[in-house]
Amino acid sequence: MVSIGLWLVGARGSVATTAIAGLLALRDRIVQPEGCVSALPQFEGSGLPTWDEIRVGGHDIAETALDKRAELLTDSGVIPHRVLDAVRSGLSEVDGDIRGGYHPATHSGSQADAARRLADDIGEFSSRHGLDRVVVVNVSSTEPVFPSLPEHRTLEALEAAMAVPGRTVLPPSSVAAYAAIRAGCPFVDFTPSTGIRLPALTELARRQAIPYAGSDGKTGETLVRSTLAPMFAARALSVRSWSGTNLLGGGDGLTLADAEHAGSKLASKGRGLATLLGSEVTAPLHIDNVPDLGEQKIAWDHVSFSGFLGVRMSVQFTWSGYDSALAAPLVLDLARFTSAAHAAGKAGPLGALGFFFKDPVGTDEHRLAEQFAALVSWAGEL
Amino acid sequence: MVSIGLWLVGARGSVATTAIAGLLALRDRIVQPEGCVSALPQFEGSGLPTWDEIRVGGHDIAETALDKRAELLTDSGVIPHRVLDAVRSGLSEVDGDIRGGYHPATHSGSQADAARRLADDIGEFSSRHGLDRVVVVNVSSTEPVFPSLPEHRTLEALEAAMAVPGRTVLPPSSVAAYAAIRAGCPFVDFTPSTGIRLPALTELARRQAIPYAGSDGKTGETLVRSTLAPMFAARALSVRSWSGTNLLGGGDGLTLADAEHAGSKLASKGRGLATLLGSEVTAPLHIDNVPDLGEQKIAWDHVSFSGFLGVRMSVQFTWSGYDSALAAPLVLDLARFTSAAHAAGKAGPLGALGFFFKDPVGTDEHRLAEQFAALVSWAGEL
Amino acid sequence: MVSIGLWLVGARGSVATTAIAGLLALRDRIVQPEGCVSALPQFEGSGLPTWDEIRVGGHDIAETALDKRAELLTDSGVIPHRVLDAVRSGLSEVDGDIRGGYHPATHSGSQADAARRLADDIGEFSSRHGLDRVVVVNVSSTEPVFPSLPEHRTLEALEAAMAVPGRTVLPPSSVAAYAAIRAGCPFVDFTPSTGIRLPALTELARRQAIPYAGSDGKTGETLVRSTLAPMFAARALSVRSWSGTNLLGGGDGLTLADAEHAGSKLASKGRGLATLLGSEVTAPLHIDNVPDLGEQKIAWDHVSFSGFLGVRMSVQFTWSGYDSALAAPLVLDLARFTSAAHAAGKAGPLGALGFFFKDPVGTDEHRLAEQFAALVSWAGEL
Amino acid sequence: MVSIGLWLVGARGSVATTAIAGLLALRDRIVQPEGCVSALPQFEGSGLPTWDEIRVGGHDIAETALDKRAELLTDSGVIPHRVLDAVRSGLSEVDGDIRGGYHPATHSGSQADAARRLADDIGEFSSRHGLDRVVVVNVSSTEPVFPSLPEHRTLEALEAAMAVPGRTVLPPSSVAAYAAIRAGCPFVDFTPSTGIRLPALTELARRQAIPYAGSDGKTGETLVRSTLAPMFAARALSVRSWSGTNLLGGGDGLTLADAEHAGSKLASKGRGLATLLGSEVTAPLHIDNVPDLGEQKIAWDHVSFSGFLGVRMSVQFTWSGYDSALAAPLVLDLARFTSAAHAAGKAGPLGALGFFFKDPVGTDEHRLAEQFAALVSWAGEL
Ligand SMILES: NC(=O)c1ccc[n+]([C@@H]2O[C@H](COP(=O)([O-])OP(=O)(O)OC[C@H]3O[C@@H](n4cnc5c(N)ncnc54)[C@H](O)[C@@H]3O)[C@@H](O)[C@H]2O)c1
Ligand SMILES: NC(=O)c1ccc[n+]([C@@H]2O[C@H](COP(=O)([O-])OP(=O)(O)OC[C@H]3O[C@@H](n4cnc5c(N)ncnc54)[C@H](O)[C@@H]3O)[C@@H](O)[C@H]2O)c1
Ligand SMILES: NC(=O)c1ccc[n+]([C@@H]2O[C@H](COP(=O)([O-])OP(=O)(O)OC[C@H]3O[C@@H](n4cnc5c(N)ncnc54)[C@H](O)[C@@H]3O)[C@@H](O)[C@H]2O)c1
Ligand SMILES: NC(=O)c1ccc[n+]([C@@H]2O[C@H](COP(=O)([O-])OP(=O)(O)OC[C@H]3O[C@@H](n4cnc5c(N)ncnc54)[C@H](O)[C@@H]3O)[C@@H](O)[C@H]2O)c1
Ligand code: NA
Ligand code: NA
């Protein structure tokens, strides 16, 4: 039997825990694959690995065991009681494949050492379970914006800097990406962090002929935006302003409300809107930390537009979703598609996976319908 | 210079008046073609008639002159003051090309007589202005549901029945469609009324090699629905219920709030939703007459859906638009596209125009993005 | 120790079950009295019976035991898991005090017999537990509108008709009210059904010096309306239309979507709005049955109003609540207040309890702030 | 005939221009007093000055004449065309009573000089028209937060500092307040600026026995908040978070989006919410400048609360109003009430006018219904 690995950076976070619990439940056939794009009939012939063929491990810097994390998610309404009961022992098993992640605050030595250790963890996971390949997906906390450095430009300069003990030339997400590629694994960035998006790292991926995908899972407000914005364009309606507010609790809420972190998230949201509308519009955007919402995310968008004879109209929407429940199945989808792409010999940025991301690499297409069509056609040729 | 005619059934209604005022303003270059799909760069090479090449006439049973109707629309915020001032005399000129429409309540004689008279009006309009072709667009009041009769099945049976004095075998919209085809004119139904959608009439169109399009302009809630619903499908999210409420004033509000009339409108809205979602869902839908809203239409939709592990989520939107401002440019678009299709020798149902309709003839595609792609590719081959 | 009884008609319904489970949880001090008006500091000196002093029994025509009903409410998110676990045995105990209710479809004999049996059930409950008094609260399914009959006018005529075997001169809610008063118990109608609101029955209450209250608990959309509408009046803003849509699942959704039943609910909602605004406005209102919402109720209201120089503005709100969670604490509040009123010798309609009702008896005040002030001052004098 | 003056600081702004145009229209009986609280029947016996008895003048630093400003407001939908036509010449007449305002950037000399000049302008306006009294209302641009200085503590210290040439010891709003009191005129602050709220200035008002009122007109989101929040308190529902977003264009939008200016506005909004709910809650609040909205203001509020058994629920509202249309009638109301209070010998802070303000002086009551009751009873005793 073919067998693939899904290695999660941030393996004990909300998204990861939900994805793992869900995978176990899917394997046990106790839930339907709701929210799983890869389970749509359109992808039946694409030879994607089945739920039974995926094994999970990962890195995290948190200590809370997966089953404890899952209990919290059950209280928050993300994982149903009966699913938790059914997957509890499976979670503990997966937890045994989680290793300590890299974080500059606790690491001593060079980043080269750190990367080597991370790559070794992945390699051992692969051998331990006799896996055909391992896909690394970053679902760790969003990082603050990292400054651009000259060492990021070439692989040579980068590796020289990484070798200097005590130097922090890369943010953790990029160390993770580097380690993944060095371990021969495709890398997917589900977060807005830098990850692989540095010339030195894409150079490495190209040399090693490794595929990668990202960035920043498209799950809530942006998902609706990328669906709705093309309507205005197709109808020749001029969007005058598109204002948004996001209320979120959970770990992500705390991280993102911090101005600097939000910087990278807001940027990746903003990029899409301008592209979708074909021009810059007034687009104030806020992310607020509202702890009592727990895992829920509420987003309100107000779009002001003008039509025939300049008449002013508006549409507003309120999205009320559970972020982790929206993100988790996409993580599984990405593991399946990326693994199949790797098996099929694809390398470099997988633009066809842009459907899943707020800020897609390898493509400029942000319109959801077009992205879906592209995904279907690409998968049809795997 | 090529010159085409746009013959409006219901030429003194809100939609018609706005379309006419807008056409005059576009011709004078005092407004931008906002809301005009046919003015998008994608259609530049399709050889569509220009604003200057379109001449308007029509039928109506109302007496209020176009400029008076336009004044009301100015008070309601649909036509800007400066536009009204600029087009006032042009409106009076067009008003001179409006003839009395057919209505069973005021007509004596057979429906064959009525149809002949309507066809003659169109013919005279065409000769008077030396037009190359005339497109007939029905923008008259939505009719109550009309019973299905055996005479509707074949042209022969139908014409025999139409010849009987005093018999009302067809609703007015179908008399208009019949007259249009008999006059050699393409027919577009912008309303949910029966129009050409009877076997006998489509037979006639086929025989005469005339193209037609419809039904029911897609301008507000349904426009958003056909944009948003595919998102759930593409993301494997299960829509559990999709509830809608429409508040509208204006003449249309009055007509549609009447249960029987709403019957045909609600039906054409409902058909689309089930197709879009791939299955029937609970979908209560209301149309309320709220006179103080004037020409404004407010629609609220609440979509309840489930995702990964069955978790329940929701999205709701409020649309606040001016119906006539949304509909009018589409009437002009339809005149341009249908005229070009006729010139290019197309006949029968124009499925590629499904983009414009709630209940498209000649196609089963309801997804807006796919409809737009189909329109662009079809127009590219005209 | 003083000890009072709360006799629920419809004791196995959602509202009743939630109220009972909550009372048990309050008694165990495992929850805070959130949502309980009577627990506010303003009522501390009013000598209301404590949670420990209330014992519950009731009538129902359903057989599902209380703990089974409570499980369903736990799945729907109304009763937390830990509360269910803690009160399960208490629920079974209360279930032992539930007797078969009266329903014309299953009853043979006269309505007088039925009423006698109901009154006896209450009396036995009272003696069994040595209660000082019993308050009867109707939380059974909303009834269809019942025709007005001449026999409703006087007690004498009514009792004569009730004595006729096989005659259904009263709807069940009124049989329940009659039985309550005959048993010497205050009667509270939490539903929009007829209940005590017949001249013959209020005559009986007056003669027996029994207090009563009603009708139709004010929990969702109407609660917000009675809060918001006075703002427009105080600011001299003219409401032009107030449109509403209610989406609800659950047993109540099913019952109310039925046109005839909704009749009584819509009527009691409508009465309030006109009174609040000081004049009739366009106010379309819908109640839709959307089963997937379960115990959740979503209401959307759109208010169009004009201000200075006639300028048009709007406010809209979406209410997303759990009806039973909103209603249940009010049922406990009503038991406490009504019991204290009875103890204090009050008789007839308790207008001061209008705060709790959509269609209050004994008062014309619908404004929430004024109702609350009246309640506080009335309770201060108990 | 009695005759009073209304002296507007910021007399050429949106609020002022709308108030003036409206007053002229009311005087001509071409509009109804919609939005005018003082025109409610409750205040008929209070001896308020009539529309005919009010004469307007003011200060501004802008040069645009009132009729030009009014044209812009007509384009924005605040002043109807027919009203503009009717009041155009009246506006020019009022414009003749507008004098150059004080601004530190353009002033040379001491603030004492400036204040003297402002007071003289008011005095001359009063004599020129033979007025019985003049009420000064500040409707000028919101100021940035001004630092607290020791000189603000006593009148003596303040006047000493004001006499120093070139020193800016007071923000313009406080110079205006000082000048008003020195001219013997009641002062009303419709803005969140400092105005009279300094110990030295309230001391002056007390000594001169002059009444004053403020601060920050309550017109949109806060109006709804002060109506809705008491509902949660009265129903013992615990508000967990109350999040708000304000989208506004216009001059105010530009001023307020500036972080520092918004500081004072957000502070005055925040103070109310905590008082209304009885405790601090998570309450993120944003003000965004969205120029295309013109004079329109859209506010979205999301309230998350818990009820019985801790169950989580929510209500959200969207307010869509024209700020100037909401504010202008209140300015006229305040002139009428304050003038009557002055005539009746009231002095010091007019807490009974708290109904009109976000951050009322002289009272801690923020609940709208209670504020209205207090206003009615106070006015009844004038
Ligand atoms: N949930 C969504 O809908 C969604 C959508 C798009 C992107 N994302 C992104 O996914 C990521 C995860 O979201 P979440 O809600 O699970 O957040 P979370 O805070 O629950 O989990 C993040 C996890 O990453 C771990 N972590 C932090 N730094 C690490 C490091 N250096 N190495 C290894 N592990 C580390 C944390 O300990 C934690 O367990 C975030 O970056 C978020 O922005 C989520
Ligand atoms: N406005 C939109 O967004 C929109 C969208 C889809 C469909 N429609 C449809 O377009 C139609 C027109 O809408 P409207 O708002 O202009 O309505 P309207 O009531 O303002 O105008 C309808 C006009 O049709 C005329 N008419 C009625 N019966 C006629 C007859 N037998 N022959 C000729 N004329 C007749 C009326 O006198 C009136 O002038 C309606 O059927 C409506 O349902 C409108
Ligand atoms: N939930 C709210 O917020 C709210 C607000 C106002 C009014 N109400 C009213 O409260 C009532 C109860 O609501 P619910 O959600 O609990 O409904 P439900 O359907 O869950 O419960 C009603 C119960 O009444 C029982 N019943 C029916 N006929 C009876 C009869 N003749 N005698 C005795 N029992 C009978 C049913 O068997 C059922 O157990 C309804 O009338 C509803 O309109 C509820
Ligand atoms: N519109 C509302 O609903 C509302 C509600 C509460 C408070 N307010 C406050 O009312 C004020 C006016 O609002 P607006 O929309 O009319 O703003 P605006 O910008 O249209 O008008 C402000 C006017 O003040 C003038 N001004 C500025 N500095 C001055 C000075 N030092 N002396 C004299 N005049 C000066 C400006 O030239 C301008 O004409 C603002 O402070 C606003 O925050 C408005
Ligand atoms: Na919600
Ligand atoms: Na709106």
CA distance linking residue A184 with residue A256, whole number of Å: 32
Chain D residues touching residue A304 (CB < 8 angstroms):
290, 292-293
DSSP A251: H
pLDDT at B350: 98
Given a contact cutoff of 8 angstroms between Cβ atoms, the answer to whether D70 and D123 are in contact is no
Given a contact cutoff of 8 angstroms between Cβ atoms, the answer to whether C148 and C21 are in contact is no
Closest CA to D286 of D314, D265, D316: D265
**H/E run at residue C299:** strand C296-306
Mean pLDDT estimate for chain B: 94
Query: Six-digit token pair at D202?
Result: 């309230």
Q: pLDDT tens digits for C167-188? A: 999 999 999 999 999 999 999 9
Query: Does the C-beta of B61 come closer than 6 Å to ligand 2?
Result: yes
A87 CB burial (10 A radius; 0-12, 13-18, 19+): buried
Q: Is B260 a residue whose pLDDT tops 60?
A: no
Quick one: which ligand is closest to C215's CA? Answer: 3
What percent of chain C has pLDDT above 90?
88
pLDDT at D42: 96
CA distance linking residue C202 with residue C196, whole number of Å: 6
Sheet with D348-349, edge to edge strand ranges: D98-100, D54-60, D4-9, D133-138, D187-189, D211-214, D348-349
Handedness of CA A37, A39, A45, A49 (dihedral sign): positive
- Is the minimum CB–CB distance between A77 and chain D shorter than 8 Å? no
Closest CA to D298 of B292, A319, A314, A237: A314
DSSP B240: E
- Is the minimum CB–CB distance between B106 and chain D shorter than 8 Å? no
pLDDT at C185: 98
Q: Is C334 a residue whose pLDDT tops 90?
A: yes
- How many C-beta neighbours within 10 Å does residue A129 have? 14
What percent of chain D has pLDDT above 70?
95
Mean pLDDT over residues D123-150, rounded? 96
Mean pLDDT over residues A57-73, rounded? 97
CA distance linking residue A111 with residue A137, whole number of Å: 20
Q: pLDDT tens digits for D69-87? A: 999 999 999 999 999 999 9
Q: Mutual orientation of helices B323-343 and B250-257 as an angle, nearest 10°?
A: 90
CA distance linking residue A336 with residue A330, whole number of Å: 10
Atom of ligand 1 nearest to the CA of A176: 32
Q: Is A12 a residue whose pLDDT tops 70?
A: yes
Cis bond before residue D174 (omega within 30° of 0)? no
Chains that touch A (3 or more CB pairs under 8 A): B, C, D
Q: Compute CA distances B294 → A222, B147, B254, C312, D35, whole Å.
A: 34, 32, 11, 11, 21
Chain C residues touching residue A81 (CB < 8 angstroms):
81
Q: Is A263 a residue whose pLDDT tops 80?
A: no
Chain A residues touching residue B309 (CB < 8 angstroms):
18, 21-22, 25, 31, 34, 78-80, 83, 325
Given a contact cutoff of 8 angstroms between Cβ atoms, the answer to whether A175 and A113 are in contact is no
Nearest CA to ligand 4 atom 32: D101
By mean pLDDT, which of A345-349, C36-40, D249-253 is the weakest? D249-253
Closest CA to D218 of D229, D232, D233: D229
Higher pLDDT, B279 or D218: D218
Which of C 313-342 lie inside 8 A of B, CB atoms? 314, 316, 318
Q: Which residues contact A53 (CB under 8 A, 6 or more apart)?
A: A1, A2, A3, A4
Q: Which residue of chain A is at minimal alpha-carbon distance from D76?
A: A312
* Preferred mutation among D239, D254, D298 to probe A, highest tally of A CBs within 10 A: D298
User: What is the length of chain C?
Assistant: 382
Q: Is A2 a residue whose pLDDT tops 90?
A: no
Query: Six-digit token pair at A193?
Result: 């962090």
How many alpha carbons fall within 13 Å on the CB side of residue C329? 28
- Range list for CATH 3.30.360.10 in chain B: 221-322
Ligand 5 geometric centre to CA of C296 (Å): 10
pLDDT at A273: 86
Q: Which residues contact C75 (CB under 8 A, 6 or more apart)?
A: none
Quick one: which ligand is closest to D103's CA? Answer: 4
Ligand 1 neighbours (beta carbon < 6 A):
A 9-10, 12-15, 59-62, 101-103, 139-142, 172, 190-191, 216-217, 219, 250-252, 323-324, 326-327
Position of tokens 């998110």? C77
Nearest CA to ligand 3 atom 9: C191
Backbone angles phi, psi at D221, to 5 degrees: -50, -45
Q: Is A252 a residue whose pLDDT tops 80?
A: no
Cα of A296 to nearest chain C Cα, Å: 14
Ligand 6 geometric centre to CA of C314 (Å): 6
Residue range B221-322, CATH number: 3.30.360.10
Q: pLDDT tens digits for C138-162? A: 999 999 999 999 999 999 999 999 9
Closest CA to D174 of D139, D145, D198: D198
- Range list for CATH 3.40.50.720 in chain B: 4-216+325-380
Burial pattern D155-170, b for ≥16 Cβ within 10 A else e, equals bebbbebbeeeeebbb
Q: Is A79 a residue whose pLDDT tops 60?
A: yes
CA distance linking residue B257 with residue C155, whole number of Å: 44
CA distance linking residue B97 with residue C233, whole number of Å: 50
* Mutation pick for ligand 4 pocket among D15, D64, D174, D356 (CB with most ligand atoms within 8 Å): D15
**H/E run at residue C336:** helix C323-343
Q: Which residue of chain A is at minimal alpha-carbon distance from B332?
A: A308
Mean pLDDT over residues C107-121, rounded? 96
- Is the minimum CB–CB distance between D237 and chain A shorter than 8 Å? no
Query: Does the C-beta of B216 come closer than 6 Å to ligand 2?
Result: yes
Phi-psi region for residue D286, left (φ > 0), alpha (ψ -120 to 50) or beta? beta
Query: Six-digit token pair at D206?
Result: 């007390």
Query: Does the C-beta of B382 come closer than 6 Å to ligand 2?
Result: no
Judged by CB atoms closer than 8 Å, whether chains meet at D35 and C308 is answered as yes
pLDDT at D261: 63
Q: Which amino acid is at C182?
A: R
CA distance linking residue A171 with residue B216, whole number of Å: 55
Mean pLDDT over residues C103-125, rounded? 95
Ligand 1 geometric centre to CA of A10 (Å): 6
Residue range C4-216+325-380, CATH number: 3.40.50.720
CA distance linking residue B2 with residue A286, whole number of Å: 53
Strand partners, A9: A59, A138
Under the banding of pLDDT at 50, 70 and 90, the label for residue A260 is: low
Q: pLDDT tens digits for A138-189? A: 999 999 999 999 999 999 999 999 999 999 999 999 999 999 999 999 999 9
Mean pLDDT over residues A21-47, rounded? 96
Backbone angles phi, psi at D92, to 5 degrees: -65, -40
Closest CA to D248 of A334, A170, C199, A302: A302
Atom of ligand 4 nearest to the CA of D297: 3
pLDDT at A155: 97
Q: Is D225 a residue whose pLDDT tops 60?
A: yes
Q: Is D260 a residue whose pLDDT tops 60?
A: no
Quick one: which ligand is closest to A176's CA? Answer: 1
pLDDT at A280: 84
Given a contact cutoff of 8 angstroms between Cβ atoms, the answer to whether B125 and B96 are in contact is no
pLDDT at B259: 57
pLDDT at C220: 87
pLDDT at C122: 98
Q: pLDDT tens digits for A317-364? A: 999 999 999 999 999 999 999 999 999 999 999 999 999 999 999 999
User: What is the length of chain B?
Assistant: 382
Q: pLDDT tens digits for B65-104? A: 999 999 999 999 999 999 999 999 999 999 999 999 999 9
The C-alpha R_g of chain C, in whole angstroms, comes to 20
Cα of A378 to nearest chain C Cα, Å: 36
Q: Mutual orientation of helices D172-182 and D111-129 as an angle, nearest 10°?
A: 50
Ligand 3 geometric centre to CA of C266 (Å): 16
pLDDT at D251: 63
Mean pLDDT estimate for chain A: 94
pLDDT at B327: 97
D141 CB burial (10 A radius; 0-12, 13-18, 19+): buried
Query: Six-digit token pair at C309?
Result: 């120089």
CA distance linking residue D16 with residue D327, whole number of Å: 9
Q: Which residues contact B260 (CB under 8 A, 6 or more apart)?
A: B144, B145
Mean pLDDT estimate for chain D: 94
CA distance linking residue B317 with residue A299, whole number of Å: 11
Cα of B299 to nearest chain D Cα, Å: 14
Higher pLDDT, D114 or A220: D114
Query: Six-digit token pair at C319?
Result: 């209410």
Strand partners, B248: B289, B297
Chain C residues touching residue A318 (CB < 8 angstroms):
318
Phi-psi region for residue A95, left (φ > 0), alpha (ψ -120 to 50) or beta? alpha
pLDDT at D273: 86
Q: pLDDT tens digits for C240-291? A: 999 999 999 876 666 666 655 666 667 666 677 888 888 889 999 999 999 9
DSSP C35-49: T-GGGSGGGGGG-PP
Ligand 3 neighbours (beta carbon < 6 A):
C 9-10, 12-15, 59-62, 101-103, 139-142, 172, 190-191, 216-217, 219, 250-252, 323-324, 326-327
Cis bond before residue B215 (omega within 30° of 0)? yes
Judged by CB atoms closer than 8 Å, whether chains meet at B227 and A227 is answered as yes
Quick one: which ligand is closest to A322's CA? Answer: 1
By mean pLDDT, which of A31-35, A106-110, B56-60, D31-35 is the weakest? A106-110
Q: Is B253 a residue whose pLDDT tops 90?
A: no
Query: Six-digit token pair at C136?
Result: 């009867």
